[in-house]
Structure 1
Amino acid sequence: MKSKKFNFNKKQVYYPISFILIQMFFVVSLAKNRTDPDKIHDVKDTNYVNRLIQQSSNLWSSKPDSLILLADQALLLSIQLNYSKGEMSALKNLGAGYYEKGDYLQSIFYYNRLLGRADSLKDYKKQAESYSHLATSYIALGDHSKATQMLYQALRIAEKYDLKLTSGHIFHNLGMVHHYQGKTDDALNFYNKSKIIYESLGDTSKSTFILGNMAHLYLNKKDYKKAGDFYNFSLVLAEKYDNKKGKGNALQSLGNFLVQQNMPLRALDFYLKAKKILESTGEKTEYLRLLENLSHCYIELNDDKLAFKYAYELYNLSVSQKQLYYIHTSADLLSKWYEKNEEFKKALSFLKQSKNAADSLYNDENKQNLVRLEEKYKYEKNEAITELVHTSQLEKKQKLLVVSSVVAVSLVIVAMLLIINLRQRKRSHSELIDSKEFIEKQNVSLEEANSFKEHLLGVMTHDMRTPISSLNNILQLFDSNLLTSEEIQRLMLSCHREINEIVNLTDNLLLWIGAQIYNRDVEKVRFKLGDLLEDEIGLQQLNASKKKIKIILQIDENLEAFANKESITIVIRNLINNSLKFCNPGDQINISAALSKTDQVVTIRVADTGVGMPKSLTEKLLKLNKRKLSRLGTNGEEGSGLGLQLCLYYLSLNGSELCVESTDGQGSKFWFELPS
């Protein structure tokens, strides 16, 4: 078979003068920066490169032109900064962008640059990725032999260094090669391996294409149930990840499925939806398949005019992209159309083109010849280009130096102005965000302060007034001299209880008010927990004895904590007092403190066997500045809810929080953690 003449594109050789000057500017800047280590490792600049790379990566399968623009900026800046990681990522994105546009030779150019950079840095992960991505472009060009060679080279590296994600990509591409070669079972096996790897790594975003390809094969095998299930699942995943290329793929695949089910009119609706999506992205690879599907669909609908239109558009696009598979299919469609319309000369011409393309795809000998001729041509052309560029540089060296100096100075000024403007915009934006966050925090603080004031007034008007009124009534009864000695004894006990409640409430109220007024950082020290706990238990022992409640302490006497001792004392006191309030005679309170396994945190627990709480109450219990959530104790003790709020507040000052577990009728357990 005669090899086709290679269409040399001058744009690949003769760059516009502005592009050459920009390249020289960055090379000069790079030379300067290499003498200044601080500039080479400028974190702000590398962060900017990373943002450009991330933005371009987000445009895969959606906007290839924008992807290329951003990746090109990232590449130039990475070269300037000598930032190898950014350079390789930018080259990878450029390869992907040109692949999506259908410019497979340019895609191969950037992937080869990526491979060369990875080789020089001995980055085996990037080496494997480069081989696999190169194979993708060669598959599109119909060079399955070279693609397979590169894929197995990539697979050897991936298996040696346990690169699972890269292996998933390689198996998918091997599936594509076998798919195009008509080896259905082998293709399904490779696709399934790829799917399993991606899903084991928690990445289902790739499955939309894998499932679609598997569905094509099941459709060819007449397994319509599996094909339909896989097509629908592929569309669901594409919509989940808003993958426009994936949506276009899945929609037209469903169209194929409907054509096989003899429903071409319904299929056309799916094809046209896919066409609208793919045209909006500028992506060309899937668009070729769509044109072929539209042509076949209109044939089924007996619309020869539109069938011819899309077949001819497919032919022109596949020729420009050197897509042998689609040259073969489009030429075959056009040959049949011209034969049907009795234009036999044109029919024969397209039939020959179809056969030549098929031979190139499926005939190994022709394929190898094509590769050798293309490689030889590329070598000779590169030699000619190198010589031409060298001669041109020698002749124009002096002129170019003068022009580049003037342009470089202009570019520096423009770049500086752009950078200053960009930084000012970023600074203004950052200040606006900071102001907004500050205002929101202030609003939250004001709401909490108002809530606290309302709660405080409620406590003062009810919780203090009630026991004082009770005391006043008791004293009036004493003055009346109408009480018996037994009644006096009983009222004295009641009076003692009321006074204790007032004292506890007043203590907590004063501590809480002080905490709100003097809201400042607390001083933290290291102290022995055993001494603190023993002192507090001693203070509460009288109340425990009256209610016949046993307090048990379990702690290593040398155990220490790092916190504000006074505030932790208040927390312990309130937790023990709370447990006493809700225990019946014969119950016990277990107080313990122990180190964590890492010896960095000490956990302090106060657990009782008292009446406990329902789950609905525990969910509301640990919220600051809310309406009080208190219950009567086992001896009728009242509470303001202020004690627990003090615990929450002081623990927050110490970087800790209060936790609770409780079962109604089975007791409660409170605990918190402190640094040891």
Structure 2
Amino acid sequence: MKGFFIILSLLITVKLFAAQKAAYSDSAAINTQRLFTRIDNLNNTAYRIYLNSPDSARRLAEAALLLSEKNNYLLGKGRSYYNIGLIYWSQSYYTISLFYLNSALNNLPKHSNLYLSDCFNALGRTYADLGNYNRALINLNKSLGLAGNDIGRLAEVFSEKSYVYCALKNYPQAIADALHALALHSGIKATGDIAILNARLAGIYKSKGDLKKALYYDNIALKMSRVIGNKRLRAKIYVEYAIINNSLNKYNEAINYAQKGIALADSIGLIDAQKDGFKSLVRSFEAKNDLKQALAYQKRYSSLNDSISNASKLKTAKLIENYHDLSAKISGIKLMEVSDRENKAKIKAQTNLIIFLSASLVVLIALLFVTWYLYKQKKLLSTKLEQQHKALLDQKVLIEAQTVNLQSVNGLKDKLLAVIGHDLRTPVANMSNIIELFNDEYLSATEISDLMREIRPIIKGAELTLSNLTEWAGSQIKGKNVNSINIDVFLLGVEMEQTFTHHLQQKNIEFINSAFPGQSVLADENHIKVILRNLISNAIKFTNNSGRITLSTAMEDNSIIVSVTDTGKGMSPEEVEKLFSLNTHFSNSGTSGERGTGIGLLLCKELVELNGGKLSVSSAISKGSTFYFNLPLVGAYA
């Protein structure tokens, strides 16, 4: 009888455990559904306000992203990334927008065709804003294929395609797509989208030159923008009014609308509209011969450009900070998820263990199982500690290598500062002495003019030193952009001859430009100018009076060899060997005592390599030197 009661109590205990577990599962499912609904509401609100309150919308989308990550809600994650991408697009951060939109594609469930359609549509618009119209049309066509029979999404795709075709100057197709989108939006009474489409039609007709129709559609868009509260659209329409009125010679109306547009754009941080507004004001006041006002607004336009450059750096740093902060939060959530899963696994194991022990009373087997489990955990922990120790050792080696590199760079910095300080002291001191003598009336204006002509080469040398330092420092930054275009080396040679006319005349040096006219190479024009300026400056420095400097080109496979040859004092093989090394570079005095930092050739080497070439030198003492480098030819000449 005693055994019967024991068995009965065990069966009741097992049943109670099972009932409790089922109730917990039902409660968890309800809570999860409520949480998913909350995430959806956050994303819906962020999407609804992102045009008027982008910062608030971004905070809501980030909160939705963190909750989705924590609860493994794929649709919520995808929509959160999509909303963040839209927000950065609205603030003209197109590259960052592409990153988040692609993250949305990677997280949205494969069967969520409509949300995927939205994402491809946004990608298409962003690529269009970046000027990559081919990629834009590819993504918009993908969006069209996924939109199915959803009228709103179909209308949005045709709306964005009209924008692309307008940029490609295919105005008939742009107008046809815009009108089709307008008809679709009108059918579902999408007021906000209808307002944007009217503004788009105005832009198409303005680009086409039909200002009457442009004003007609802009008037409709302006009225609707007030109804829907779209400040971004309203600011752009005011600026469009200003541009159109300028074209119609209605300058007072243009000034009024431009000022309205600038004020509204400034209140919401829409920089592009502010810039266009200032340009329109400059044109209006120039047309009215009010040059004072035109100059004032031109200065404000230039100041805005400068502030954009500075603000861009600060905003970029802030965006990076926001990105890392968001990434850190996501990583923390993932760690919490891992910990939560481990805790749940432990609870489940313990529950199963209790049920197993209560049902079977196999205490010995249970003890053996626990002992084995703990041993396995200990072994895993030991392996993990060994891996961490190895990672710490690797990190130590890396830190030591970085320390050696930093010491080398610091030594080079000290050397450069010492040389540059010495080279800049002389021209600054000379200028200071001349100014003091002039102020004390020891020198006449004629004597000052003569002294200025004599000191001009020294000042030019100091200017080249500063220019080289700035360019070289910039070239040390990883990821430096190269803006390659078609360049005629012969024309650059003509420009260099004009730049160094005074230096050449001082030493009676003949400059020969034997580069082949019309040969186009593919390179960054500013980089090649810096390279030629340094090489020709060095050639003048080390060439005696009545010498000769030759700029020439030669074909080799699909590239051109550009060379600068002088009849100067040349270099020994040992000096040539040290010339391009960061740690052994040097600088000798010129034939007339000219001084330099030695950084010019290091800068030339960096810039040549950035443009896909290699800088070399051949030299002999008392016979002169030839510096030459290769650049790729443009396809037609190759």
Alignment TM-score, normalising by the size of structure 2: 0.42
Alignment TM-score, normalising by the size of structure 1: 0.40
